[in-house]
Structure 1
Amino acid sequence: MSAPQPPEPIPGARLLFSLDPAVSHLNHGSFGAVPVNVQRVQQRLRDEMEANPLRFFGLSLVDRITHTRRHLAAFLGADPDGTALVGNATTGVAVVLQSLGLRPGDEVLTTDHGYGAVGFSVDRECRRTGATRRILPVPLTATDEQVVEIVRAGLRPGRTKLLVVDQLTSATARLFPVAAIVAAARAHGVPVLVDAAHAPGMLATPVASVGADFWVGNLHKWGYAPRGTAALVVAPPWRDRMEPLVVSWEQDAGFPGNVEWQATLDYTSWLAAPAGVWTLRSLGVERVRAHNAALAAYGQRVLGDALGVAPADLPEPGGPTVAMRIVPLPAGLATTIEAARALRERIAEELSAEVAVMSWDGRGWLRLCGQVYNAPHEYERLAARLPALLAQR
């Protein structure tokens, strides 16, 4: 297996961001990074809001949100009439869960690759309704065909009221074959919620290619939108059943307006989000995707070599544009969530590098991302210093 080579940098891309140059920001997937021009667009909107709050929150604001929603839905390949803007993916998940009408004896099915906060949301709704949650283990090395078969075998038609599956997993940076999973579940009459927190901006038209009953994704990660910008997409049969977490003045408008309108919410992040999409397009969407994926692959190999991990033992993400990679940590490290958090903080404090450290399947994993503001030397510097830090157990 030939070693991956770092991509050519995109000229001027680093200057688009206000990130601290003394820190290696190798974890774009957690909170993203907002380009300077997008920050300025949002600040102008905030200035407009503070100059005359009554005018800003007047009747035209609903129209502005609708216009923004249509722009972002087109970028995602989604039906704008079935798309609602929400604060983040976990908010969208909560809207779906509390709208299902779960009852005692019902079941929500997830996998062990799911995002922790989504699991918390499922557990809470199950406690509230008397339903149960069941978790399907999926091996990290499973092929797409094996993943689909594991899910298909785990369905209990008539009892399984919802399947929650990740499009791109946070803990393991794995691209799941969600279109095939949705088809398998639909054949058994089981609706599917796709957690696509990392998909917008990284994957092309991530909604249209899936066809799920529910799909939620963040635009404030790989779509360069301000934080607090996400989309909940609902298939036509379910739209009349969607209820907001908080009832406000657009309740009678139905979905998506009833979910979007929360009175004095700060909507400037949503209204500025198209500027993030414009920035991505100005850099070249395919160019950015290819650059980021290649840089993440290079970083994974550099860190793997430094930690003595054979190339064959470095997990593949399953897609050519996936800009997140994971590296297994030495045995005994970061085996719990608390230990993973502590190690991440040590790396940030002592090595001036921001990474994600995950605890999954009984061992620790270091997750790296590639973004246009990153450079190969940042991964190389971390690789040169990380082994010594890990030896100080």
Structure 2
Amino acid sequence: MTQPTTDPKSAPTAAPTRPSAFPGGPQLFRLDPAIAHLNHGSFGAVPLAVQEVQATLLEEVHTDPDAFFVDVADRIAAARGRVAAHLGADPDGLAFISNATEGANLALNAIELADGDEILVTDHGYGTVVAAAARRAPVTTVALDPDLPDEDAVREAVLAGLTPRTKVALLDQISSPTARLIATPELLADLAARGVTTVVDGAHAPGMLADPLAGGADFWFGNLHKWGYAPSGSALLAVAPRHRGRIRALVPSWEDGDGFPRSVENRATADYTGWLAAPEGLDLLDRLDAAKVRAHNSTLAAYGAALLAELPGLTPLPYAAGLGMRALRLPPGIAETPESARELRERIARELRIRVLIWPWPGGGGIRVCGQLYTRPEEYERLAAEFPAHLGR
């Protein structure tokens, strides 16, 4: 079951309680302390312990490339097994990939579509993932008001967007800009009952959710390099058994004859060290107590959002308890286009030394803040104090 969504506009207002920093959290990373890194959801950050494992692997590659590449496929399979154990997944139905966009293309290419079939997406979807859908078939875009109060309202809006031609639904598990739960197990069950093939963009799910593969989607892909503390370029594709035989690597490899998952993991002389080090990130999360880390991240993000909600013109969006991201709408006229959102984001980074996500939306864009082991309450306080001066510029 999913966590219920809370509408902050209906909750009683109270001064936010200042949370504590995670003991030793900043020391786990190699981040510039002069910058407030409040945008973990975009690119993640690799802990030092994981960096060290990857550095050792790189040294191994440079010391004896032949030895490394001869048996790398088996080592990748072993690493995949370790990751699968963390996620409660079938290692034979899971493959390492580079990012969520690659996962979207692999999944959509494996689905048989006839003339007239359509793919349903929402306007919260990630741009390159939605573009992958548009390459395969006509796309129907469901407009989801960011202010929809809960997951039931989101589910009803998605189901109302189905047409007799809908063959596939490509949905975010946690939307990137608005930090909303969309592809809940309940919605996936409703879609399956209607004969719709489900493809879930779980870019933010590993490490953020306790059970990221809940719901049994036909295809699911997610990044390990965000909330799973893996090196950049580490992601996963999970495929239900009935679809695995149709997965084809985007580029043919020597492992094609072995089928999925090895066929999509073989990249010749690519850098595999990130994948081999990826299990270390999930191991670290467990050693720190994953539930404790998730609760800490959520509490910090909630604190930052509460401070921003006190600013004139900023409106907090409904949220699901336990997520390490929160989003707010900006005043009308602010960040309504991708260009203006990018300009505001980069100006905040340049002049305030604060990293946040500013996302565009008609009628007024939004701001997303994240909580992570290395973030500190005073960084959100500084953002809330200095951000108003940039809204009218």
TM-score of the pair, normalised by structure 1? 0.94
Whether 2:37 is the aligned partner of 1:25: answer yes
* Candidates 303, 309, 329, aligned match of 1:298: 303
Q: CA deviation at 1:256?
A: 0.7
Displacement over 4 Å in runs of 4+: none
Aligned residue for 2:154? 147
Q: CA deviation at 1:271?
A: 0.3
Q: CA deviation at 1:361?
A: 4.2
Judge which range, 380-389 or 244-253, deviates more.
380-389
Q: CA deviation at 1:177?
A: 4.9
Distance 1:327 1:146 in 2: 19
* Candidates 228, 240, 251, aligned match of 1:235: 240
Judge which range, 358-367 or 270-279, deviates more.
358-367
Aligned residue for 1:51? 63
Q: CA deviation at 1:48?
A: 0.4
Aligned residue for 1:187? 193
Aligned residue for 1:70? 81
Q: CA deviation at 1:176?
A: 2.1
Q: Work out whether residues 80 and 94 of structure 2, in 8 Å CA contact, stay in contact via their aligned partners in 1.
A: yes
One-letter amino acid matched to 1:27: N
Query: Secondary structure of 2:50's partner?
Result: helix
Aligned residue for 1:343? 344
Query: Secondary structure of 1:30's partner?
Result: helix
Judge which range, 272-281 or 343-352, deviates more.
272-281
The 5 Å alignment of 1:374-385 reads: 374-385=375-386
Distance 2:124 2:391 in 1: 25
Aligned residue for 1:325? 326
Q: CA deviation at 1:155?
A: 2.1
One-letter amino acid matched to 1:84: A
Whether 2:314 is the aligned partner of 1:316: answer no
Distance 1:358 1:77 in 2: 33
Distance 1:188 1:55 in 2: 51
The 5 Å alignment of 1:74-223 reads: 74-123=85-134, 125-126=135-136, 131-142=137-148, 143-157=150-164, 159-207=165-213, 209-223=214-228
Q: Cα deviations across residues 337-376 of structure 1 (Å, max 9, x unaligned)?
A: 1111111000000000001000124421011000010011
Distance 2:240 2:15 in 1: 43
One-letter amino acid matched to 2:115: P
One-letter amino acid matched to 1:94: N
Q: Cα deviations across residues 226-254 of structure 1 (Å, max 9, x unaligned)?
A: 01111100001100011110110000101
Distance 1:292 1:87 in 2: 25
One-letter amino acid matched to 2:358: V
* Candidates 272, 275, 278, aligned match of 1:270: 275
Whether 2:344 is the aligned partner of 1:358: answer no
Aligned residue for 2:3? none
Query: Secondary structure of 2:56's partner?
Result: helix
Distance 2:290 2:262 in 1: 30
Aligned residue for 1:368? 369
Aligned residue for 1:36? 48
Query: Secondary structure of 2:203's partner?
Result: coil
One-letter amino acid matched to 1:223: G
Q: Cα deviations across residues 130-165 of structure 1 (Å, max 9, x unaligned)?
A: x201101122232322222222222234x2221001
Q: CA deviation at 1:4?
A: 3.4
Q: Work out whether residues 21 and 377 of structure 2, in 8 Å CA contact, stay in contact via their aligned partners in 1.
A: no
Q: CA deviation at 1:283?
A: 1.4
Distance 2:15 2:298 in 1: 14
One-letter amino acid matched to 1:205: D
Q: Work out whether residues 166 and 178 of structure 1, in 8 Å CA contact, stay in contact via their aligned partners in 2.
A: no
Distance 1:243 1:224 in 2: 28
Judge which range, 236-245 or 8-17, deviates more.
8-17
Judge which range, 215-224 or 299-308, deviates more.
299-308
Distance 1:369 1:284 in 2: 19
One-letter amino acid matched to 1:300: A
Percent sequence identity over aligned pairs: 51
One-letter amino acid matched to 1:280: L
Distance 1:80 1:360 in 2: 39
Q: Work out whether residues 199 and 217 of structure 2, in 8 Å CA contact, stay in contact via their aligned partners in 1.
A: yes
Distance 2:233 2:312 in 1: 36
Aligned residue for 2:6? none
Q: Which ranges in structure 1 are unaligned for 5 or more consecutive residues? A: none
Q: Work out whether residues 193 and 214 of structure 1, in 8 Å CA contact, stay in contact via their aligned partners in 2.
A: yes
Distance 1:79 1:3 in 2: 45
Q: Work out whether residues 75 and 205 of structure 1, in 8 Å CA contact, stay in contact via their aligned partners in 2.
A: no
Aligned residue for 1:248? 253
Q: Work out whether residues 27 and 367 of structure 1, in 8 Å CA contact, stay in contact via their aligned partners in 2.
A: yes
One-letter amino acid matched to 1:327: L
